[in-house]
Amino acid sequence: MKLVVGLGNPGLEYDRTRHNVGFEVVDRLARRHGDPSTGTARNKFTGLVVEVTIGEEKVLLLKPLTYMNVSGKSVAEAMRFYRMSPTDDLLIIVDDTAIPCGSVRLKPGGGAGGHNGLADVTEKLGTDAWPRLRIGIDKPGQIPLKNYVLGRFTPEQQELIEPSLDEAADAAACWASEGLAPAMNRFNRRVAG
């Protein structure tokens, strides 16, 4: 089994914010690959989970309900329960201010880059050697970072982000069914805009 985690914040006030793109990609994966008769989300691992099949692979989709900055608790619970390997079985989907809005990039591991959600996952797992799928949301400019990531996309950004969320779902499905290297080769070449 593989684990795909979309990072975000629970609650309507955070819906469709820049920080919640991970949640949106997991929702797309659930709609595309879930069984409508059994694919309803349930509470488990301090989050909402749906089990889907992508290709021949069983995939657990997880949206932590712990808030972004303590997402690692939920991820670690699921990893321990299924005895998964971070490097082989885990993909984290997250927003990234360091890449242009609408860009999608896969990485095999690395630092948190100032992202508190990624830092907490690293702390709880004891390693940063796990794949992540980053979705560009642009730099905040003069807006304080917290206000920016918790804000909604501008109309211009919205035009870029909608297709990139679909592309991110395609990239996550490719990772689950074919592996990291094929997904990186296919999806890291594209540049938003």
Output the CA–CA distances (angstroms, integers) from residue 16 to 51, 112, 158, 165, in the order listed: 23, 22, 10, 12
Question: For this structure, is 33 an active site residue?
Answer: no
At CA 29, angle to CA 102 and CA 85, rounded to 5? 95
- DSSP string for residues in 32-56: HHS-TTT---EEETTEEEEEEEETT
- Please say whether the beta carbons of 96 and 135 come within 8 A: yes
Catalytic residue among 2, 19, 33, 124: 19
The kind and range of the H/E element at 164 are helix 155-178
Q: Fill in the amino acid letter for 161.
A: I
* Residues with catalytic function: 19
